[in-house]
Structures are given as C-alpha cells and as structure tokens.
Amino acid sequence: MFPRRLAATAVAVLLLAFPAAAADSPSGSKPESKVDTYELLNLFGDVFERVRSDYVEQASDEQLIEAAINGMLSSLDPHSGYMNDKRFDEMKVQTQGAFGGLGIEVTMEGGLVKVVSPIDDTPAFKAGIEPGDLITHINGEQVLGMTLPDAVDKMRGPAGSDIKLTIRRAEREPFDVSLTRSVIKIKSVRSRLEGKVGYIRISSFSEQTDAGLQDAIDDLKKQAGGQLQGIVLDLRNNPGGLLTQAVAVADDFLDQGEIVSTRARKPEDAQRFNAKPGDLAGGLPVVVLINGGSASASEIVAGALQDHGRAILLGTKSFGKGSVQTIVPLSGHGAMRLTTARYYTPSGRSIQAVGIEPDIIVEQAKIETVKSDPNARRESDLRGALPNPTSPAEGAPQGAPQGAPEGPPPAGLTAAEAESGASDYQLMRAMDLVHGLAMFSARAGNGTH
C-alpha cells in the first residue's frame, strides 16, 4: 500500500543519512528521534488507511496525499505550500506577466483571506478592493475553514464569469463586492513625465520588470530633453514577485554596495547580492513611495535604496514580508513552495513582521481647495504703496499662472490618468520633494546660499 511504501522509503533515506550514528548506538539500539520518526510515519499510514476505508465519502489517494502534504507545508508559515500540476503551471504563467483571475494578491490571516494588494487595472483594483481587506465569503460560502489554495481556486474561473466577495474592512460593516473575472495581463511598469519629474509605477516584479524600468527611464530622459530633475518610484500596493528582478531594479539606481543578503538554516547557503557600476538615473534625486501594500520584493528595493541613502522613502510603513520562498519542482507532481531563508537589507536589518519605516511619513489624504477671499487687501492696495522695481512693465505678458497645465497630457496617457496625480496626496508630496531636492542641488552646484 502507498503509505507503507512511503514509510519504508523514508526509513531508507534516514538510514543512509545517518550511518555513523546507527553504528555508534549502544547494543544496536536506535536513537530516540529516529524511533519517533518511524512511529509517526506509521501513524500517518494508519490514519490514511482509516480515512481511505471509512470516510463517509470516497476520496482518491491523490487527493488525500496532496492534502496531507499541503497541510504539512502550510502549517509552517503563511507562504509555504504545495502546488499541484495545475497550480504550478498557473504560477509559472503569473511570473511571466499574465494570468487569469481577479488580479489580487492574498495571504491567510486568522482563518480568513487577507488582501495584500490589488494589481493595477484589474477587476479587483477597479472594484475598489484595498490592502488589508479581509474576504469572509466567496459566492456566499464561508472562507473560514478553507485553505488558502482552496480559496484561491474558488476565486479563479473563466474570463467573463462573475463572482461575489464579502469584504470586512476596518470598522465598517461587512459588504459585498461583485466582480467579473478577466484574463490579467500585467504591464508591471508604467511611466509618465510630470513637468520635469519622471513618475515610474512598478505594480509587481515579473520577468519583464527590469527591462520595462530601463525603457521607462530612457523614455523619460528623452521626453524631458535632458532637463529631468528626478524620479518618483511608486511601489505602493506592489505585492512583490521575483527576487532576481528586485535585485536588478535596485541595481539600476546603485553604483556599488550590497543590495540584499539572504540567510538560510545552513550558513553555507547564505547569499549576498551586490550592485554593479552604473546608475541609470545618473545620480538624480529619487523618491520612493511605499505603503502597507508594499511587500517582499518591493521592500528589498526600498530597503536597499534607503540604506545606501540613494532615495528618500515617503508614505506609510510597508507590509513586512522578509522571507524567501524557493520553488522546488516535484517530478510529475507539481511543486512545493518552501520558505528557505530570510532576507536582510544592506545595513543588516530584517524587516520580517516589522516592515520598513519611510523617511517621511505621509498618510494618504483627500485635498480640498480653499478659495481665497477676493476682497482681501494686499500691499498693492494700500495708498502710496511703493512700486516693485523688478516687476514687468504694465501690460507685459505675465506668463501662465503657477500650476496651470503646460499642454496636452503626455503621449500614451489618458486624460483620467493625467489628472489622477492631482487627487493623490502622497504623490503630490513626492513630486514636491523631488522639485525641492533638485532646486537645492542646483543652488549648491552654483554656489548659491
């Protein structure tokens, strides 16, 4: 029977792994830990057989074994788990930049599905799903009691099909959100020029991210005509992705030094990633936007640029996922995702369950324009006020008022996208900061004080 063969195989592996210990044990007795392992494997076999023969409904051997493996892995931490062939194929497609579903990155918390972040321009994003939302029901079915893979499976489905999620958010009463599934094609890098400041949004770290970033920086430089003042790198609600891409993105802004290190259970498995010479931004000021939806690979980039003093971080504290998952293919049976290391920023700090604190804390806020009193008196209204000797002659053109649009939206940008920055308080603060840093650098270079 399968479980007995499994137990026998495990015994053989253990004996091969510890021949010396077995030889040294007195009177041929086995070490207690090994005896316990054999007994537990037999326990597993006994439970498997009982479920197989007596459970109220027949379950396949494959279903039981896969559930047991997934239970073992998912009990370790929220990010370890088993993927059957179907889920493994979906994961490979997702890291390549396209997949089917709602466009939502999730984890498990307190038995419920917790939203890490929605992905830009997906059904979840357009429906107003927010980081930190808890999904309590899927199409009316309670999530409590499901595994994360089960919940994810229920949220996936054919493009065009509908789904209803019940959301619990902060102090609000639970509410339902209806969404229509679609094929999610992720363009992980978007950019636009705001005056003389480049805005780059990275929504996830897939295989195309670094190439997309390099193209975006080149394009911004061309649009600015050599007058680019700085860059705002927006990593808000970016759930992470490939470690290699996070390292490459950070390397694009660094000339030298460590980007990130990983420390595993065995010291010899530790890794260190260092930057290569060449800063694509040419030393221009960089402001990185982060928030509670910035996780994993996003935190690697933010932490590296912060520790090297290459960028100023603005926004709110990040998610706090400081662990590395290794995908281990299992021949003919999918793969397992196993947490194998923790990562550390260049200064040696782990952000696991802590997150990265921004240099400047700016909560997202709504902005209202307060109209000035048209009847308010000014110096120029006072009788006998002195004229300004440097003001232009009367009747001369004064130029466009500050804040007036300088022309049509940049190429490839819709009017709605062009206007979106006006209601994004964190982005406005980041833009102001880049302008200020550029102005300070220019004055310092000219010897102006």
C-alpha 20/C-alpha 100 separation (Å) is 52
Cα separation values, 72 from 4, 142, 147, 336, 386, Å: 19, 23, 12, 11, 82
The pLDDT confidence band at residue 11, using thresholds 50, 70 and 90, is: very low
In the chain, ranges of CATH 2.30.42.10 domains: 98-185
Cβ neighbours for 305, distance < 8 A, ≥ 6 positions apart: 250, 253, 254, 286, 288, 311, 313
CATH of 98-185, one of 3.40.50.2300, 3.40.640.10, 3.40.50.300, 2.30.42.10: 2.30.42.10
Whether residue 53 lies in the annotated active site:
no
In the chain, ranges of CATH 3.90.226.10 domains: 189-361
Which pLDDT value is given to residue 366? 80
What DSSP designation does 82 have? E
Give me the helices (H) in 55-202, please: 61-74, 85-95, 123-126, 148-155
Question: Which residue shows structure tokens 């007596």?
Answer: 54
Whether residue 120 lies in the annotated active site:
no
Catalytic residue of the set 210, 219, 251, 307: 307
Q: Which of 10, 31, 11 is CA-nearest to residue 20?
A: 31
Q: pLDDT digits over 243-299, tens only?
A: 999 999 999 999 999 999 999 999 999 999 999 999 999 999 999 999 999 999 999
Say what the pTM is.
0.73
C-alpha 328/C-alpha 136 separation (Å) is 31
In this predicted structure, the answer to whether residue 6 has a pLDDT above a threshold of 60 is no
Q: pLDDT digits over 18-34, tens only?
A: 233 333 444 444 455 55
C-alpha 13/C-alpha 330 separation (Å) is 17
Catalytic residue of the set 74, 80, 206, 296: 296
Q: pLDDT digits over 293-352, tens only?
A: 999 999 999 999 999 999 999 999 999 999 999 999 998 889 999 999 999 999 999 999
Q: pLDDT digits over 149-169, tens only?
A: 889 889 988 888 999 999 999
Whether residue 331 lies in the annotated active site:
no
Q: pLDDT digits over 114-159, tens only?
A: 998 888 889 999 999 999 999 999 999 999 989 888 898 899 888 8
CATH T-level assignment (fold) for domain 189-361: 2-enoyl-CoA Hydratase; Chain A, domain 1 (3.90.226)
Which pLDDT value is given to residue 34? 59
Q: Are 90 and 171 in contact (CB under 8 A)?
A: no
